[in-house]
Structure 1
């Protein structure tokens, strides 16, 4: 099991500019097959969906292939795949769908570890409905969620638990299945933000225990859009506000207006690209995805170890805040006496892109009293050991 990194990198036109991209948690670079699929679909022939002309059938095929590809990636039925403009938009939409069933006195449980896209929509919906918000707190020593405290805030009044599968700043991967099992025992639905997680691990929505799972293809080599997955039978119970003539079928009832068929084709191409990263044999696309993600995990772990060892060599000048036992190859750090934005500019001048900020992670930054801005370094499938060394050399010259 291995990824030919030279062959993989040859598919990314942007890498030819000599830049070392460590900004993958904010959005990865795009391989040529994804761009080609978008262009080919957009230039058609293409019309609105239908069953008469070739242009209508092309649109139908783009939708069907998108749902099938996401079903393989997430291990869900194709009928449970919903397209959205972004994970934020989908979460806002589903907060409005779900709040219709909430009543004053109900409760929801949110996580201090989460990106604000899995916090603010729920807080705002709860405020409108008179629903109480309770929290899963972070242990500042481990940057992991306090699950004992979580069990205490669950009650028969809990309607929803929203939690990330991986922190977009710290990389922390909480035990989502345990969190979900406890939530289900209380009778609550579980909404999982898998945006950061899906970039590094093959997702299995049922195994995670998620009732609704959201991710963003542009974080795993695809175009800018969002995907929500859920069991079709659960989606059947939700009644969104919609135009009267529009389809009431699941999942179409949650997709408002004409779909961007070219973006859907790009997502399909991204999933196929991921499945081919390790070109070994596999009976199904899901099998090939499992092989490729297994190889990717090994490669990213080796680079993360190299990166962390190099950062330790810089001594007390760097404080690394990513320290959970189970986490993605994403590191958040602050620099003693130095402004992280200045470090970002220093690195960028050396063609090394590592962004500074708080990255919409309002709750983790507040709960852990993290310095804003902080420097974030995230690995993606195309990163190399030489690039890691370039980052370390550049940061060392700044300190």
Structure 2
């Protein structure tokens, strides 16, 4: 495979300790492995004095600096104003909280648009918030033959009563990347707020609030080589107009009033280190000169990541499509390197377990994209998800393809393996 110039996959892999365990990781859509500098940053934060944020003691100053730097880092990462960056334990929790705050502005008969392509974290919170407000939920469909969610699919369900449109920037099941900018323009013409789930896109391409056309985006750091933490970035003026539920003594400042309790300072230090790590992927190893504009460095680095992953995805897809009885369900024109496959007459959990026994980590199920799985005709079984990450190598691809080929040559699979997989596998994200 031809790698993009300047992308040193071996140097990248050498800085991720978990890869030394030997597995070929295709489970990135559910969570990525963490580089050593991120681990070090978390440990260093824990080793220094820490207390609640303030300016009097060393512990207070350290906490304050960590939070402010993490906001700046995620602002750079998402092309957003740091003053609109909110942290929480997960993107699901943040979307739930955000939906409740927005729903206070809705009235009976207002409308909320969600899609059948999305992960449930960008569906269920809005559906429940709509029910509590007396709003109507309108569903936007996607084409199961192509996997495309087109702007016209959204326009079909928009009206002057639409208050919120929730759409994914990239499907966590089949990788589809909808044209969120055109979708947002259509939604804004009727006065709706647009929330974009960028959890899957953020791992594979640079994210920009303006280019997405969004009023708010959400993501999770563990999807892009970071620690477990949710992030929501919104336009500050939107946050100023909302009144989230909070403790009476908690600050009314934005974005702090959307953050419940004390933030995990050490984890935030890890998030900043993750952003710095990604920003450095476009720089030659050992380079003493780095661009001062972190956002520009991130855009350059993520271009390299995207080129590397797209080339590797193309190779894998060509070889998988050449295998009898294998169907790939990721067909959209623009998509992330997330592939969903099924094998005729075989259970997804069976293939998943077979590959796991060979040290090839994938995933099986619907991955909380239940509506999408059913729309594809895969029901509650879903398929086997193969997802690439910045550290996925040619050798990893060789092991995956060899494993699938060997599996197909097995005429009968022992029932015990399927039973074991059913008992141990979780649906995942």
TM-score by length of 2: 0.91
Q: 1:179 and 2:183 equivalent? A: yes
Aligned partner of 1:353 in structure 2 is 361
Contact 1:330 1:376 in 2 (8 A): yes
Q: Show CA shifts across 1:269-297 (max 9, x none).
A: 00001001121553311111111111111
Q: 1:266 and 2:279 equivalent? A: no
State which of 386, 407, 419 in structure 2 corresponds to 1:377: 386
Q: 1:209 and 2:213 equivalent? A: yes
Q: Give the C-alpha shift of residue 146 in structure 1.
A: 4.4
Alignment of 1:1-399 (within 5 A): 1-279=5-283, 281-315=290-324, 317-371=325-379, 372-399=381-408
Distance 2:256 2:153 in 1: 39
Number of residues of Structure 1 aligned to a counterpart in Structure 2:
398
Contact 1:339 1:373 in 2 (8 A): no
TM-score by length of 1: 0.98
Contact 1:136 1:146 in 2 (8 A): no
SS of 2:112's partner is strand
Contact 1:198 1:220 in 2 (8 A): yes
Q: Give the C-alpha shift of residue 325 in structure 1.
A: 0.5
Q: What is the RMSD of the two structures over their aligned residues, measured on CA atoms?
A: 1.0
Contact 2:142 2:153 in 1 (8 A): no
Distance 1:387 1:166 in 2: 23
SS of 1:70's partner is helix
Listed as ranges, the gaps of 5+ residues in structure 1 are none
Distance 2:306 2:219 in 1: 19
Distance 1:147 1:269 in 2: 36
Contact 2:86 2:255 in 1 (8 A): yes
SS of 1:276's partner is helix
Distance 1:51 1:248 in 2: 19
